[in-house]
Structure 1
Amino acid sequence: MTSLALDSCPVTAAEEASLAALLRCCVREVAGPRGQVWHAGPYVLLRVADTLLRGRTHGGLALRFDGRPEWLDRGCWQPLDADRLVGLVETELGGTNEEFAAQVGASREAMAALLTARRRTPAPADPWLASEQRLVFGHPFHPSPKARDGAGWLRYAPEAHASFPLRLLGVRDDVLAEAGETGPLDDLAPAPPGYSTLPAHPWQLDLLAAELAAPLADGRLVDLGYGSRPAIPTSSVRTVYEPRLDRCLKFSLDVRITNCVRKNSWYELAGAVELTRRLGPVFEELSAAFPGTGWLPEPGYRSADLGVRLLEGLGVIIRASPWSVCRPGVTPLLSGALAVPEGFRAVPGGPPADPVRWWRAYVERVAPPVLEAYLNHGVVLEPHLQNVLVGVDASGLPVEAVFRDLEGTKLVAGRHDLSGLPGRVAEALTYDPGSGWDRVVYCLMVNHLAEVAASLAGTGSVRELWAVAGGVLAGYAGSLGWPPPLADLLAGAPLPAKANLSVRWARSADRSAGYVPVANPLAVLS
């Protein structure tokens, strides 16, 4: 599958990406736990539904494929396709999910549509926004990484280089719901006296049309039309960059994107403001200990108090933009953009001439602040590829790391006084220590570093890069006296990997997703 790239034939690239993602899931969640995976030279072999499959691989834990995977048919190897693999998975797992094949197919069709649309519309000139819009193939270990509900999604898709003006509402003051710093929203457009300006995602307003009819008719809401400048969707689809404000705005979207219906629950609206207040001092200490560490605060939200459905559906969270927190001369790039095919084209100067030096700088910027936040501050950051921005200097060398999205950020239970918060808000803000550590290790090691290392190494070995990462982590562990969780990690304890196929097969909420153990690439170094 070396042809997999953003400029490949859309249908071919979409098929290859769909097959690769599902096959990775099979290695990790289907064949692996059953002891039906073997490594032989350049191949990984696995058995699914009594059928032997193989693929040439590189990238270590990231499991990148070279050439077309194959299946053994009466003693001869034949090319494998995604539909055949779906059938094998259904047979292996019992065939009790009639939605599964359709979700995989819809995801594949979405990828093809995105690749086609990208050819018609240029990428943003802003390198950060261009990096946000590069994630065409989605999560590499998800059976349907681009599955999306709802009609008309393509016009709002970041991967299609979309941009669009926001819809603007006026919320009458007696039904205004807000907290924190919301003043910037008033600069989007003047509201009538007695009203406040509320931006809305135009797709969400279409989805809520029936519920909005009454408050628009009786004046609790007024329609102020469209914004004067296009907003640019970032990688999460529902969060956009609003250039007039130089802010990011996180909206609700009542559609399923990959695993979840993406909405701002009422307790998440309040939780974002509460976490911003609590994390300010934490990040001050992190940035002092690890220069170049930054974050994107979410200091306020605004909505309309018109029942829970509209409170959540119209809720918007204000977030700082990365340009506002990076130093002059530093360019923020989405880490996820580095993990896509040919991702290092996005880095100023192109692929680094000295990959090991670049990688050491990258790991030093990203990993120690995440571990420090957990171990010394009781804060669980969620450093997966879509939640971290790496700031690079003019030569392309990583010099900053910026962490974002407080929805996934949690506080370790028992280490923070949450007694003054409503019970549901406090519950949503906390993880028990074990769950918090699993989340940190999965996001940092499995989802993030493994994928960037595989892209940086190309078809070569990632062993040297993991040795460098191990050295950085060991230096940090030594400075703390080798705390047990970190000592176990560096000793090669298996890593937790999120079970995306299992949660989709069970049709469960994403929060129910468990983990499966995977080999720790640091194990061979210890």
Structure 2
Amino acid sequence: MNGVVLDSPAGSPACAAAGVADVAESAALAALLRCCVREVAGPRGQVWAAGPYLLLRLAENLIRVPTSGGLALRFDGPAERLECGSWRPLSVDRLVRLVEVELGGRAARDDDPGGDATHNEEFAGQVAGSRAAISILLRERAAATPPEDPWLASEQALVFGHPFHPSPKARGGADWVRYAPEAHAAFPLRLLGVRDDVLAAGGDPLALDGLGHAPPGYTLLPAHPWQMELLGTELAAPFADGRLVDLGHSARAAVPTSSVRTVYEPRIGKCLKFSIDVRITNCVRKNAWYELTAAAELSARLAPVFSDLAERFPGTRWLPEPGYRSASLGTRLLEGLGVIVRSSPWEVAGPGVTPVLAGALAGTRGRGAHKEREGETGDIRGTAAGALRRDPLGWWGAYVDHVALPVLDAYFGHGVVLEPHLQNVLVGIDPEGMPVEAIFRDLEGTKLVAGRHDVSGLPVVAARSATYDATRGWNRVVYCIMVNHLPEIAATVAGSAAPRAADELLRELWADARARVARYADERGRPLPLRDLLAGVPLPAKANLSGRWARSADREVGYVPVTNPFAGVCA
């Protein structure tokens, strides 16, 4: 369990010197600016490279920021706006007004922060709320004790969140910090008894019975304390007539993981995925009734798929979700009280292997003294960092083999769409610091390619939720692995080199990755999507800024084209 050591950002020298508010401002600005490059200025041809700087034009304003890391867009210094012939610091509030000009047509005068009516009156508040949340999290972390378990420490390391989201830490609800993984929260669960005649269950949720004992005629149901507060008076009637009984609190504290609503319960050694009826980043995080049904169904169907993947790609692991439990008290409470049982990574990791969240490995966001790089993990240290320094290409090659190739084979070989973004993949690090396993999780994002699987036995809505057509499935796969995931890891590996050598190392990393994908493509007869990928065809990147501006449901958010890191790499 000593493969990776993660630093707490609030204790870092940069954080102490610059102040929490400055770090939060820098992180919030960087996230929104990346979105502007990718979704606004880039598609309009208003982005240029100029030496160490990236220049972009937004609402007739010229902005510059020093960058590295290729597609990951890591900022190595402050962003500035050209004003009256001089470069002046760019603030989050100013950038929000420029975005509103581009997307909503409102005035952007410095002396009129309100401006004209905008098409999205929520947007500025979401960005400001995310910035405020980062400040709160940094302060809370300074006074909290991180988990000793390196896996759980990595789960709680994502202080800044998604690097290409305009408000990555926006979340609703009151008192959320008590349940925030980034604040190193831990809390006992509420234990309920569900009268057996209104029990709802599917698959195999029997692990839940290890949390305690229910009275005769009742079955144990754990509940998230935050969700119990949110449901409030809606629970009064079933408690009053005995359909539910309150059994107190669990004996040990549960630990929230990176998604907020999923916790690790140490007494039974399982992860539990709850509903939380608040918006966290993009979505209200509830277990829809059809997702409860689909989780157990997909777990049964995926067992032979992952068995085959593990044989072809040793080190491939996954976290099954074998069952769920809830109460049949109408759709609202069926979903609100629904809990999905998930295996924990320690159950599937090999001997001597430490599972670490991929997002934590990718957490460093720049070089030099720029405040943004101190956000999540500060740096990767211990044996993983040592392995990176000794053999960055070898470390990267092992990472690509274990993470990317099984994802491609799940799609082409089995018609299964995994969702391998940075928060859904755990990387197993061996005692030498090398990646030797990849653990895939979260069946909500896992889909079956329509036409390759018989889903006629599922309810219509559940079948629709569990499937993608081939094009949508490929877009999701290639976005997650080639835009969201590998570029962040590549930038981290390249950042371990001296600044002058980092760009050259980055090119070597992508050439190596392309060669590995090409060998796999040859094994599969070079299907068209892989031919396009290897040829450098632009990739689909999720348009989070556009989605937040349009207030679209997350499933309806579209894509924008971005440069393929294989483009220009010699075959």
CA contact (8 A) 2:475 2:540 kept: yes
Give the equivalent residue in structure 1 for 2:552.
508
Aligned to 2:491: 454
1:123 aligns to 2:146 (yes or no): yes
* Residue matched to 1:264: 287
Q: Is the 8 A contact 2:9 2:138 kept in 1?
A: no
1:253 aligns with 2:276: yes
Q: Which amino acid aligns with 2:401?
A: E
2:512 to 468, 471, 474: 468
Instruction: Answer whether contact 1:127 1:346 (CA < 8 A) is retained.
Output: no
Counterparts of 2:333 and 2:286, CA distance in 1: 11
Match of 1:43 among 34, 45, 53: 53
Matches of 2:85 and 2:102, distance apart in 1: 21
Which residue is equivalent to 1:143?
Answer: 166
After TM superposition, give the deviation of residue 419 of structure 1 in Å.
1.1
1:206-236 residue CA offsets vs partner (Å, 9 max, x unmatched): 0001110000011000000110000000000
Instruction: Give the match for residue 406 of structure 2.
Output: 369
1:467 Cα offset (Å): 1.3
Cα distance in 2, alignment partners of residues 343 and 186 from structure 1: 40
Take 2:378 and 2:238, find their aligned partners in 1: how far apart are those partners?
A: 46
Displacement of 1:61 in angstroms is: 0.1
* The one of 27, 31, 44 aligned to 1:17: 27
2:568 is paired with a residue whose SS is helix
Alignment pair present for 1:384 and 2:421:
yes
In 2, Cα distance between equivalents of 1:288 and 1:152: 46
Cα deviation code 1:292-326 (max 9, x no counterpart): 00100000000000000000000000000000001
**Structure 2 counterpart of 1:516, one-letter code:** V
Conserved? CA contact 1:344–1:456, under 8 Å: no
Equivalent of 2:305 in 282, 286, 292: 282
CA–CA distance in 2 between the matches of 1:153 and 1:45? Answer: 38
Query: Which consecutive unaligned segments of at least 5 residues does structure 2 have?
Result: 1-7, 105-117, 365-376
CA–CA separation in structure 2 for the residues paired with 1:317 and 1:292: 25
Deviations 1:420-476 (A, max 9, x none): 111011000000100000000000011000011112211522212111111211111
SS in 2 for 1:219: coil
CA contact (8 A) 2:514 2:566 kept: yes
Cα distance, 1:96 vs structure 2: 1.2
Deviation at 1:44, TM superposition (A): 1.0
Contact 2:316 2:406 in 1 (8 A): yes
- Aligned counterpart, 2:385: 350
SS of 2:201 mapped into structure 1: strand
Residue type matched to 1:495 in 2? L
**Secondary structure of 1:230's match?**
coil
Which structure has more RCO (C-alpha within 8 Å, separation ≥ 6)? 2
1:124-155 residue CA offsets vs partner (Å, 9 max, x unmatched) = 00000000000000000000000000100001
Rounded to whole Å, the distance in 2 between the matches of 1:367 and 1:49 is 38
TM superposition score normalised by structure 1:
0.98
Structure 1 segment 119-518 matched on structure 2, within 5 A: 119-341=142-364, 342=377, 344-345=379-380, 348-351=383-386, 352-353=388-389, 354-458=391-495, 459=499, 460-461=502-503, 462-518=506-562
SS of the residue corresponding to residue 253 of structure 2 reads strand
Moved more, 348-357 or 95-104: 348-357
For 2:385, the aligned partner's letter is G
C-alpha deviation, 1:345, in angstroms: 2.2
Contact 2:326-2:338 at 8 Å conserved across structures: yes
Instruction: Find the aligned partners of 2:77 and 2:463 in 1 and give their Cα distance.
Output: 49
Aligned with 2:271: secondary structure?
Answer: strand
Give the AA of the match of 1:27: V
Contact map agreement 2:384 2:434 (CA 8 A) in 1 = no
Partners of 2:157 and 2:192 in 1: CA distance = 31
Inter-partner Cα distance in structure 1 for 2:121 and 2:415: 42
1:524 alignment partner, SS class: coil
Distance 1:514 1:470 in 2: 26
Q: Equivalents in 2 of 1:67, 1:46: separation in Å?
A: 15
* Structure 1 residues 384 and 207: CA distance shift in structure 2, 3 A: same
CA distance in 1, matches of 2:515, 2:133: 41
SS at match of 2:380: helix
Instruction: Work out the number of aligned pairs and report it.
Output: 523
Where 2:189 maps in the other structure, the secondary structure is strand
Give the CA deviation at 1:348: 3.6
* RMSD of aligned alpha carbons: 1.2
Counterpart secondary structure, 1:254: strand
* Secondary structure, counterpart of 2:234 in structure 1: helix
Cα 1:112–1:275 change in 2 (3 A) is same
Deviations 1:101-136 (A, max 9, x none): 111000000001001101111110000000000000
Contact 2:180 2:260 in 1 (8 A): yes
Report the residue type matching 1:419 in the other structure: S
Change (3 A) 1:346 1:176: farther
Q: Per-residue deviation at 1:347?
A: 5.6
Q: For residues 476 and 489 of structure 2, what CA distance do their matches in structure 1 show?
A: 18
Please say if 1:75 is aligned against 2:85. yes
Q: Runs of 5+ in structure 1 lacking a partner?
A: none
Shift of 1:176: 0.2
* Equivalent residues of 2:384, 2:429 under 8 A apart: no
Inter-partner Cα distance in structure 2 for 1:305 and 1:247: 24
Q: SS where residue 107 of structure 1 aligns? A: helix
For residue 441 of structure 1, give the secondary structure of its aligned residue in structure 2: helix
Indicate the SS of the match to 1:236: coil
The runs of 4+ residues in structure 1 deviating greater than 4 Å are: none
- For the pair 1:60 / 2:95, whether they are aligned, the reply is no
1:521 aligned to 2:565? yes
